């Protein structure tokens, strides 16, 4: 049934493929042949060599029985700029944590050499840990944010990159923009980034959160996103204190969600981090607008912010992905986000034994397909569906890693949410990006 000529197929991978689909939480395809075309897209996934032209393809890999392929993971919320202090400074609640640690560190990204160093490390570390797609916050600095985009592109990571916007930070006055600066620099950031024509890296409009943006700035950013059909990311309802202050600061709005909504910032390309304290009414608005939630369980617990009831979000049919939220979350690994998501769901079950705990399989889906849907990138990534880019991890379960096997189907493959030692290779859009090829 194929009319593709042999030369269009670049590589054929043989092995077991594990992924989520719209209909199946986790599907295990044993001993298949997956063809990737010269554009890096999945061309075919089948059981017979006869489906492939006999010439022109290259058999790349016979996966042994302790190995399998899974889709690359999608980190829907990570602060690249906070990687420099990940794992430290988790002793204060959110708003004090921002003023005491975060804003002073982010101010350092004025220095491009500092930025280059940290951004190189965070891109390599997340790729190494299987994050094939990352949705990044940078800082308020346009040039350093552009550098993050360049570094992600150079290492072959799929990324959304946001220059952070904030004009009402009163605690660290040297880390703040005027409304005009924020607006003009966002425009410059977007146009410079689009000019580069990176195949996998895109700009995302990034108001930090309602507490650090004036209504005027929120309005401008909503306009910019609308006029350029861009992604939007921010934070919402992470802590109760924040929700209370937003209510005081924006008394004329129905809710925190309504503040973003009224400024055109709640669209089907919006991803909002946390959402621990969203009401049912707010989740309905998310659903209506097609906006998504980034569940950041490590951060939620580490900063004592709250526990997102992921089951409730799913019941509302709101798109949901997982995020590491470095450095509120101390781990840059999506495998950690998977474990913490299960932990939070179990903590909710301890509180209420009737609670419908998330299953391993559901969380696997959130880390892969769910994340791609949350970022509206599911046309390109999230599973091995024909036509999508080949974003994949070759996982080796024979190496002892962490304690959790995500799926253990009797004699079948184990999907271990172990650690980076179990990730033998990482592919993005058909290109092998891990192990790194050292350039001189
Ligand atoms: N809310 C506003 N800014 C931030 C941030 O940098 N991290 C977290 N976790 N929440 C925020
Ligand atoms: Fe965050």
Percent of the residues in the chain that have a pLDDT greater than 70, as a whole number: 90
Domain 6-71+382-434: which topology? Urease, subunit C; domain 1 (2.30.40)
Ligand 1: does its nearest atom lie under 6 Å from the Cβ of 325?
yes
Q: Are strands 201-207 and 231-236 parallel, antiparallel or unpaired?
A: parallel
The pair of structure tokens assigned to 103 is 């804003």
**Mean pLDDT, residues 340-352 taken together:** 97
Ligand 1: does its nearest atom lie under 6 Å from the Cβ of 336?
no
Summarised one tens digit per residue, pLDDT across range 180-203 is 999 999 999 999 999 999 999 999
Do the Cβ atoms of 374 and 319 come closer than 8 Å? yes
Ligand 1: does its nearest atom lie under 6 Å from the Cβ of 235?
yes
For ligand 1, atom 11: residue with the closest CA:
235
Site to probe by mutation for ligand 1, drawn from 81, 86, 208, 210 as the one with most ligand atoms within 8 Å of Cβ, is: 208
The pair of structure tokens assigned to 309 is 């009831």
Q: Distance, CA 375 to ligand 2 centroid (Å)?
A: 15
Ligand 1: does its nearest atom lie under 6 Å from the Cβ of 106?
no
| 325 alpha carbon, closest ligand | 2
Distances in whole angstroms, Cα of residue 413 to Cα of each of 13, 60, 63, 128: 17, 21, 12, 22
**Mean pLDDT, residues 431-440 taken together:** 82
Q: Where are the domains of the chain?
A: 6-71+382-434, 73-374
Ligand 1: does its nearest atom lie under 6 Å from the Cβ of 365?
no
The pair of structure tokens assigned to 270 is 């919006």
For ligand 1, atom 7: residue with the closest CA:
328
Phi, psi of 350 (to 5 degrees): -65, -40
Summarised one tens digit per residue, pLDDT across range 95-143 is 999 999 999 999 999 999 999 999 999 999 999 999 999 999 999 999 9
What is the rounded CA–CA span in Å between residue 419 and residue 203? 30
Summarised one tens digit per residue, pLDDT across range 304-321 is 999 999 999 999 999 999
Pick the CATH number of 73-374 from 1.10.630.10, 3.20.20.140, 3.30.1340.30, 1.20.1260.10: 3.20.20.140
Summarised one tens digit per residue, pLDDT across range 390-422 is 999 999 877 654 444 555 544 455 555 578 888
Q: Does an H or E element contain 241, and which?
A: helix 240-249
Short-list 74, 82, 65, CA closest to 30 = 65
Q: Name the least confident of 7-16, 53-62, 359-368.
A: 53-62
In the three-class reduction of DSSP (H, G, I as helix; E, B as strand; rest coil), residue 227 is classed as: helix
Angle between helices 142-155 and 179-196 (to 10 degrees): 30
Q: Which atom of ligand 1 is nearest to the CA of 305?
A: 9
Short-list 360, 338, 209, CA closest to 271 = 209
Phi, psi of 134 (to 5 degrees): -130, 140
Residue 197's region, left for phi above 0, alpha for psi from -120 to 50, else beta, is: left
Summarised one tens digit per residue, pLDDT across range 237-276 is 999 999 999 999 999 999 999 999 999 999 999 999 999 9
Quick one: pLDDT at residue 288?
98
Short-list 187, 183, 237, 191, CA closest to 213 = 183
Enumerate residues 6+ apart whose C-beta is below 8 A from 133: 72, 73, 74, 75, 157, 158, 159, 371, 372, 375, 377, 381, 391
Name the more confident of 113 and 64: 113
What is the rounded CA–CA span in Å between residue 92 and residue 85? 14
Q: 1 pLDDT exceeds 50? A: no
């Amino acid at each position: 049934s194929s009319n593709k000529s042999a030369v269009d197929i670049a590589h054929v991978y043989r092995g077991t493929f594990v992924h989520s689909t719209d209909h199946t939480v986790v599907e295990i395809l044993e001993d298949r042949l997956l063809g990737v075309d010269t554009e890096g897209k999945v061309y075919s996934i089948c059981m017979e060599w006869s489906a492939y032209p006999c010439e022109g393809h290259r058999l790349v890999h016979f996966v042994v029985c302790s190995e399998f392929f899974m889709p690359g993971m999608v980190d829907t919320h990570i602060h690249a700029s906070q990687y420099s202090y990940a794992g430290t400074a988790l002793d204060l609640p959110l708003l004090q944590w921002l003023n005491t640690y975060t804003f002073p560190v982010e101010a350092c990204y004025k220095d491009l050499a500092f930025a280059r160093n940290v951004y190189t490390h965070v891109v390599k570390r997340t790729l190494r840990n299987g994050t094939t797609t990352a949705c990044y916050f940078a800082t308020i600095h346009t040039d350093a944010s552009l550098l993050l985009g360049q570094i992600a592109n150079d290492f072959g990571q799929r990324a959304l990159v946001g220059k952070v916007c904030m004009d009402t930070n009163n605690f660290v006055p040297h880390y703040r923009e005027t409304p005009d600066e924020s607006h003009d620099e966002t425009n410059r950031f977007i146009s410079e980034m689009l000019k580069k024509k990176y195949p996998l890296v895109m700009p995302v409009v990034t108001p930090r959160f309602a507490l650090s943006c004036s209504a005027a700035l929120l309005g401008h950013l909503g306009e910019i996103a609308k006029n350029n059909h861009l992604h939007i990311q921010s934070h919402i309802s992470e802590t109760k204190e924040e929700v209370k202050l937003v209510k005081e600061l924006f008394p004329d709005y129905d809710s925190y969600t309504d503040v973003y909504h009224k400024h055109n910032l709640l669209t089907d390309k919006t991803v909002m981090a946390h959402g621990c304290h969203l009401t049912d009414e707010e989740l309905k608005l998310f659903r209506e607008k097609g906006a998504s939630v980034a569940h950041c369980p490590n951060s939620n617990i580490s900063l004592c912010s709250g526990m997102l009831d992921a089951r409730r979000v799913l019941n509302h049919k709101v798109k949901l992905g997982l995020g590491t939220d470095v450095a509120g979350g101390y781990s840059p690994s999506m495998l950690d986000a998977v474990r913490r998501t299960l932990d939070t769901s179990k903590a909710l079950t301890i509180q209420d034994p009737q609670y419908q705990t998330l299953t391993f399989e559901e969380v696997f889906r959130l880390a892969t397909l769910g994340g791609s849907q949350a970022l509206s990138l599911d046309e390109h990534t999230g599973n091995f569906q024909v036509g999508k880019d080949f974003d994949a991890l070759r996982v080796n379960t024979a190496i002892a890693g962490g304690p959790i096997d995500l799926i253990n189907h009797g004699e079948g493959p184990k999907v271990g949410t172990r650690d980076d030692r179990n990730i033998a290779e990482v592919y993005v859009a058909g290109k092998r990006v891990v192990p790194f090829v050292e350039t001189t």
